[in-house]
Amino acid sequence: MRIIRCKDYDDMSRKTANIISAQVILKPNAKLGLATGTTPIGAYKQLIAWYNKGDVDFSEVSTYNLDEYLGLGPDDPQSYRYFMNDTFFNHINIDKAKTHVPDGSNLDAEAACAAYDELMAAAGPLDLQLLGIGRNGHVGFNEPGDSFSKGTHCVELAESTIQANSRLFDSIDDVPRKAYSMGVQNIMSAKTILIAASGADKAQAVYDMIYGPVSPQCTASILQLHADCFVVADEAALSLCK
């Protein structure tokens, strides 16, 4: 794992955007794995700014998002498809047909997950997978558990994740209890992984990811075994890593 130490959220966002834009400049038809959440918003804003200046072109890029809430369709403002359109895709020249998010409106979990895995298998390994990290060490919605997941699957969200994500909903009761998520094997298949983290509330998870045992109790710890993984994190998130 290579650690890129950043001053603060803005610095982390710029460095994350730099790595993504370098990937797209080097390989215009790059396949990117993308993430939702608060962590990547600054990086997406920076990429939009560079796109507007003519510095980066997304016309040939394809994207695969990590996860989606079960039961939320693309028009639901709480869905991750809506988030991606609203935060990023609507502001750049990406072909929406080349952007992929698990289909939360398909309540047949087996079919929805199989369809996403087939899509990913047909695409081949992603060039760059962007990840955030949960306070409990999750990546995507791969919550702490007894084993690492493989392909896309339906997840029961951990209580701590429901609590953390409730800030984005009117009430905690509105937070969906289930989601579809790429599995650990999908994530580990990417050629390069960039995991971004900001804030003191991520410090323990970041420490466990880098220094802890490789264990499904901290899903992100599996990234220690990836051959090309960057941690792009700010001082607060790295405060336990001396």
Q: Which of 65, 68, 138, 226 is catalytic?
A: 138
Q: Which of 136, 142, 165, 186 is catalytic?
A: 136
Kindly state the smallest distance separating residue 39's Cβ from ligand PGA, in Å. 3
Binding site for ligand PGA (CB under 6 A): 37-39, 132-134, 138
Q: How far is CA 214 from the centre of its chain?
A: 20
For ligand PGA, the closer CB: 44 or 93 = 44
Kindly state the smallest distance separating residue 7's Cβ from ligand PGA, in Å. 18
Q: Which of 68, 103, 117, 143 is catalytic?
A: 143
Q: Is 57 a catalytic residue?
A: no
For ligand PGA, the closer CB: 38 or 52 = 38
Q: Which of 67, 103, 208, 234 is catalytic?
A: 67
For ligand PGA, the closer CB: 37 or 104 = 37
Closest CA to 60 of 94, 26, 17: 94
Kindly state the smallest distance separating residue 209's Cβ from ligand PGA, in Å. 12
159/164 Cα distance (integer angstroms)? 9
Kindly state the smallest distance separating residue 41's Cβ from ligand PGA, in Å. 8
Q: Is 143 a catalytic residue?
A: yes
For ligand PGA, the closer CB: 116 or 141 = 141
Closest CA to 67 of 219, 204, 209: 219
Strands (E) in 78-160, as ranges, are 99-100, 128-131, 153-156
Q: Is 148 exposed, middle or buried (0-12, 13-18, 19+ CB in 10 A)?
A: middle
Kindly state the smallest distance separating residue 139's Cβ from ligand PGA, in Å. 7
Length reported for the chain:
242
DSSP label at residue 77: T
**DSSP 3-state assignment of 107?**
coil
Select the residue whose beta carbon is closest to ligand PGA and give its number. Answer: 37
DSSP label at residue 158: P
For ligand PGA, the closer CB: 120 or 132 = 132
Helix (H) and strand (E) counts in the chain: 7, 10
Q: Is 186 a catalytic residue?
A: no
120/107 Cα distance (integer angstroms)? 20
Q: Is 100 a catalytic residue?
A: no
| CB 141 within 8 Å of CB 117 | no
Active site residues: 67, 136, 138, 143
